Structure 1
Amino acid sequence: MSTAVTFAAVFAAVYAAHMVADHWVQTDHQARTKGAPGWAGRLSCAVHVATYTLTAVVAVAAVAWRCGLDLDPARVTVALLVSAVSHYIADRRTPLLWLAVRTGSARFVALGAPRAGRDDNPCLGTGAYALDQSWHVGWLAVAALIAA
């Protein structure tokens, strides 16, 4: 099978796994505490990333089996490690905020967020969420390239 086809199949698998793991597998507690300072936040984020990565392993294995992909286990391991580390960095929140400020996106981060002291716009459609998801998808593409 061509590298392009393998890349496309692996990317589809890790993208689908990302969406399921980030929105269904992740617990409410993890979502609320994974960015908290200290060891409690680090542990919450690590547990989320572990379940996230396990979801990706299952998805990649299912796609490889069903589509007849001949994947190198070492390359897949490195790919999913890259995905896991990049996911942990993003979900600790401070690193992406730091990056957004330094790249001129600080105002975009606040887009759609409730104003201080008010709960007037609770939604998923914030600038911070968009930057978070685009970071993840970019790294999923890198992971798929590594696996392919």
Structure 2
Amino acid sequence: MKGASDDHPVTYQDPDTKEKMTHGTADGRKACLHHCLTYTATQAIVAGLGARALGIRVHPGVAAAALALSFGTHYIADRRVPGKGLLEKLATKTGKGDFYHLADYGINGAFHLDSAWHHGWETLAALIATAKATTR
């Protein structure tokens, strides 16, 4: 996909990557919103196809709630505005501030903490999505 970042070919466009953390600007909010919408749409498509392939019927309302949780938690975490973002504040309060700011030795602490945050919420969203699931 032209213009896409190498590591996230569906959900990241280069302008989104650069702009989503810009605090207090419409462009920053728009870029983060675009990223989160494409991310959530991708989740919905892949989860829907996976459920169908496995013969699982997911309740639409429960699936929508799970996707809303994933979208909301993704958006608030990805507005990683230096000194003001949720993840940086959480990292600082839990004694992980140095790791959050680490950008040496091939490690990006903010990226790793961001991924852990998302995986935790995705797991909860998956549990919610399957709460009323049945077989076909």
Deviations 1:36-74 (A, max 9, x none): 112211111001101111101110110111111011011
Q: What amino acid maps onto 2:67 in structure 1?
A: L
Equivalent residue number for residue 15 of structure 2: 29
Q: Which has the higher contact order (CA 8 A, sep 6+)?
A: 1
Distance apart, 1:84 and its partner CA: 0.4
Are positions 1:127 and 2:117 aligned together? no
Equivalent residue number for residue 122 of structure 2: 140
Distance apart, 1:129 and its partner CA: 0.8
The whole-number CA distance in structure 2 between the counterparts of 1:98 and 1:43 is: 22
Matches within 5 A, 1:76-91: 76-91=63-78
Deviations 1:94-126 (A, max 9, x none): 111111111111011122x15xxxxxx6x5x31
The whole-number CA distance in structure 2 between the counterparts of 1:52 and 1:70 is: 22
RMSD: 1.3
Q: Equivalent residue of 1:36, what SS? A: coil
Q: Which of residues 99, 103, 115 is equivalent to 2:90?
A: 99
The whole-number CA distance in structure 2 between the counterparts of 1:67 and 1:31 is: 34
The whole-number CA distance in structure 2 between the counterparts of 1:91 and 1:36 is: 11
Distance apart, 1:88 and its partner CA: 0.3
Segments of structure 1 that go 5 or more residues without pairing to the other structure are 1-21, 115-120
TM-score by length of 1: 0.76
Q: Which has the higher helix share?
A: 1
